[in-house]
Amino acid sequence: MRRKQDTTRRRIIDAAYQLFWRSGFTRTSIDSIAARSGLTKRTLYSYFRSKDDLLAAVLAHYNELASERLRRIGDRMPAERSGMIDSFFGQIAEWASATPRWSGSGFTRLVVELADLPGHPARAIARKAKATTENWLAERLARARVPLPKARARDIMLLMEGSMALMLVHGDRSYIDAASRAAKRLVRKDRLDDR
């Protein structure tokens, strides 16, 4: 019985994940999640009290996927500064190219969608996920002996997020290349003057 419940719960989370990713949280209805999962709305509510509770479960699942993606990115990254940056941004470009109707970072899109709800729990989950990525990047940069690795990681996060947003705005993936070039200039800097 427990296995069936786990399978059903996972079906609901997977359906909601796909719909939230494509249509956004606000535009996705409980009816559409129930239909996509092949369940009744009543069944869905027996697993999740509200759409917000379901969103929290989806974000927990997405965080696992994001952690796995970081691990795979790290496995393919060389230790050398310039190659590390090329690999990091190159893999983001591959992700965008390989994903039909790519729509950027799910966490970023969600926070933008919930911008008028600063206390929404999803924003805290997204903030934690982005901090995890930034800390992961800072550790990589420190190992590559990049000066001020935390500051450079923050700069690179800005370049990454900005390039993904501009790729969506303009439909032009060359923004990721521009971000990569800018990031390489940052990590080549040997000055310690911008603390």
193 within a domain of the structure (yes/no): no
Does one domain contain both 153 and 88?
Answer: yes
Range of the domain at 89: 49-188
pLDDT value, residue 189: 66
Does one domain contain both 40 and 93?
Answer: no
For residues 149 and 140, what is the distance between their CA atoms, to the nearest angstrom? Answer: 8
Does one domain contain both 18 and 67?
Answer: no
55 within a domain of the structure (yes/no): yes
Looking at the structure of the chain, the number of domains it has is 2
pLDDT tens track, the chain, 195 positions? 678 788 999 999 999 988 888 888 888 999 999 999 999 999 999 999 999 889 888 888 888 888 888 899 999 999 888 899 999 999 988 888 877 777 777 777 777 788 787 788 788 888 888 899 999 999 999 999 999 999 999 999 999 999 988 888 888 889 999 999 999 999 986 544 444
pLDDT value, residue 67: 83
Tell me the three state secondary structure of residue 73. Answer: helix
Closest CA to 190 of 105, 81, 85, 86: 81
Does one domain contain both 174 and 151?
Answer: yes
Can you give the CATH number for the domain in which 31 is found?
1.10.10.60
Alpha helix (H) residue ranges in 99-189: 106-113, 121-143, 149-170, 174-188
Does one domain contain both 137 and 177?
Answer: yes
Torsion on CA atoms 122, 123, 127, 132, rounded to nearest 10: 10
Q: Is 117 left (phi over 0), alpha (psi -120 to 50) or beta?
A: beta
pLDDT value, residue 190: 54
Does one domain contain both 106 and 177?
Answer: yes
Structural contact between residues 142 and 79, judged by C-beta atoms closer than 8 angstroms: no
Does one domain contain both 59 and 40?
Answer: no
Does one domain contain both 110 and 167?
Answer: yes
Q: How far apart are the first and last CA of the chain?
A: 57
What pTM did the predictor assign?
0.80
pLDDT value, residue 157: 95
Can you give the CATH number for the domain in which 171 is found?
1.10.357.10
